[in-house]
Every structure is written in C-alpha cells, then in structure tokens.
Amino acid sequence: MSIARILTGLWRNSTETSDRAKDPKLKTRYYKVNKRVLLEKITFVVNNKLPGWKLTHLDAERGEMLIERKTMRQNQMVVTVLQVEPLRCSVDIVSAYEGLGDLGLSYFTVLKFFDVLNKEVPPEKK
C-alpha cells in the first residue's frame, strides 16, 4: 500500500480517516476513555512525544484540535474527538500539506500520530 500512497501523493496533498475508509489503517480509532481524558492524552503526546509538532488550537467543547508540524513543508492536522458513549470516544484526523502533492507524507503522518497515541492509550480491539 505504501507504493500506491506515494504514487497518489503526486497529486494529492491530504489524507483523512473515517469509518468508511477503504484502507484499514485509515479507519476511525475508538478508545475506552472519556473525551476529557483523551484530549489530555493527545495534548501530552503532541507536546512531549512528537518533537517538532505543536498544538496551535484546542476547542475542548467541540473536541477539535489543530496541530501543526513544520518541516520543509508545513503540515496541518485537524484531530476530532467525539464522545460516542460515556466511556467510549472516536478519533478522526484530516492531515494536509501545503502545495501540490505530498508523496504520501500526510498518510504516513497520520499513521505516526496513531502509533504514538496508541502507546499512551490503547485503542479498542476490533
């Protein structure tokens, strides 16, 4: 799948997760914690575990976070946390790089984010 992501990345500069994603790695993640705790864990991960990443906006009531990462090109991610049950939240991400085509960087950025977050808060088993 990585080669296909790089090829589609010639003209696409964004990636998003959803329940309907064809790629299983881009499916919505679910966690057995409440929204407040999950937002705190994501903030901790961004500030302490991901160097070069910066939380630029947090709307806790809506469950939305804007995270920026500056490398050679600027990347912006919108992380949305929804409370679906009292102790169950979903996390979806939209990641985009500036300019035309990112060679799959937005895809790999989303995977890296979930990999680090899942070490702090284990996701639900499918």
The enclosing domain of 113 has a CATH number of 3.30.310.80
Mean pLDDT of the chain: 89
- Alpha-helical segments (H) within 1-126: 2-8, 35-44, 105-120
Contacts of 38 (CB under 8 A, 6+ apart): 31, 81, 89, 91, 121
How many domains, in total, are found in the chain? 1
pTM (two decimals): 0.88
Instruction: Let me know if residue 67 belongs to a domain.
Output: yes
Q: Is residue 8 over pLDDT 60?
A: no
Q: Rounded mean pLDDT of 68-92? A: 92
Instruction: Let me know if residue 42 belongs to a domain.
Output: yes
Number of Cβ within 10 Å of residue 41's Cβ equals 16
